[in-house]
Structures are given as structure tokens and as C-alpha cells.
Amino acid sequence: MNKTKKLLLINGPNMNMLGIRQPEIYGSDTLETIEKLTVERAKTLGYECECFQSNYEGAIVEKIHSAYGRVDGIIMNPAAFTHYSYAIADAVSAVALPTIEIHMSDIHSRESFRHNSVILPYCIGQVAGLGKESYGVGVEKLVDHLEGKSYV
């Protein structure tokens, strides 16, 4: 029997406000639309994708913990938690699942406090600045990693 291949998409605080929040930065698509696109992209690559969003740091930590032994990898847009959540960084480190950090905006060209990620050192990489397509590219790069494709 073949094991089902699974990914977990985690979105952090305020991502539930997509479509309303700063459309000049984040576009007009809702989180629901972006989740559907992400699930579809994963499916075309042979993976199921579960979606989760929370505005609460502890809920995200618990979701990461619950992923251990249950999913193959994590796609995460930690949103504001990117810059200061050592709890989320420690959770990603603890479960040791391949994780890719994604951002719709280019965090490196925005306010200086957004330039640093405390989570990235525990991730396989980061995709930023591609709008909603950051999610699809993130899925592709995570699946490439899971399936042993490397880039030099």
C-alpha cells in the first residue's frame, strides 16, 4: 500500500484578512482562494495539502507539533511572526520536517524590521515577493526537496 504524501500549509496572523488588507501589497485574492490554488498545485504534484491559519502564536506552535509523523513537509507564511517568534522557530526545529518559508511581498525591500527572519535558519529556503504565486513556487520547491531534486 502506498503512503499518502501530505503537506501542511500554515498561514500566520492577519492572513485571514487577505483581499481586504493592503490590496496594493497583497492583492485582492482572499486566503480561501490562495489556499485552493495551493491545494490544487500540491495535488498536481501528487501531494495532499492541509491548510491552517491562526492569529495566535501558540496555535501555530501546536499545529507544527501535530505535523510530526503526519506530514512530509510544511509550507509556512509566518507573517509578522517571521521577525520575532522564537517559539515558532523552535517548533520548526523540533519537528525537523522540511519547511519552506513563503511571503507574498518582498520582505527584504519593505520596512527594515521585516528584513530578518528568525524562522528561516530552520527552513530549506524562502520564497518572497511573488504575490500569491509565492505559494505555488513554495509547494514546487518543497516537493523538489522531498523528492531529492537538488539545485546548485
What does the pLDDT read at residue 1?
A: 53
Mean pLDDT of 15-32: 87
* Strand ranges in the chain using DSSP code E only, listed in sequence order: 6-11, 48-53, 73-77, 99-103, 125-128
pLDDT of residue 23: 78
pLDDT digits (tens, 9 = 90+) for 86-122: 999 999 999 999 999 999 988 877 777 666 899 999 9
- Where do the domains of the chain lie? 6-146
Asked whether the beta carbons of 52 and 63 are under 8 A apart, the reply is: yes
pLDDT of residue 28: 82
Domain 6-146, CATH number (from 3.40.50.1110, 1.10.760.10, 3.40.50.9100, 3.30.360.10): 3.40.50.9100
| Phi/psi at 52 (5° precision) | -150, 140
Catalytic residues: 26, 103
**Chain-wide mean pLDDT for the chain?**
93
